Amino acid sequence: MRFKYFSFLLILFIFCSSNPYEEELTLNGDALFTEISNFEDIDRDLDSQCSLLEEEREYHENDSLPLAFFIEYEYYKYRYVGGSPENVEKYLNSLFFYCDMGDVFTENWNSLEYQENLYQQLASAPIEPIGIIDK
């Protein structure tokens, strides 16, 4: 009887202490970062990724920017270094849910087509050199 009770508590502890999004995030991260060949210095520690994501969210909130811009920034960041649209979407979805920001993602993610369209517009915009004029 004691063994059954102990086993039940052990299983309950393991189930409650694990994040249900961790495995999904790991798989999606592996898929994304495998295709990003020039992304050398990657911090794959999940807790530090959540801390960084929270900092970036705070930057957007402190600048009074809509959280949709935060989502767009995250999408652009991983697309710019070579991630495919589908893998970036899957990774961001699992990252936000793992970091307890799933509501931010679902409320501000328009669609993959929208994000990709915006990315293509930004990526193809001409960059004007800025000259410094001494007076």
Task: Give the pLDDT confidence of 17-72 residue by residue, as tens digits.
Answer: 466 777 777 777 777 777 776 555 455 678 888 999 999 999 999 999 999 999 99
Given this model, what pLDDT does residue 130 score?
60
Given this model, what pLDDT does residue 133 score?
56
Given this model, what pLDDT does residue 9 score?
44
Confidence of residue 132 (pLDDT cuts 50, 70, 90): low
pLDDT mean over 95-106? 94
Structure tokens of 76? Answer: 């652009």
Q: What gap in Å lies between CA 101 and CA 103, rounded to an integer? A: 5
The helix/strand count (H/E) of the chain reads as: 7, 0
Given this model, what pLDDT does residue 46 score?
80
Nearest to 92 by CA among 18, 24, 35: 24
**C-alpha of 73 from chain center:** 10
Of residues 125 and 124, more confidence is placed in 124
Nearest to 24 by CA among 86, 102, 94, 104: 94
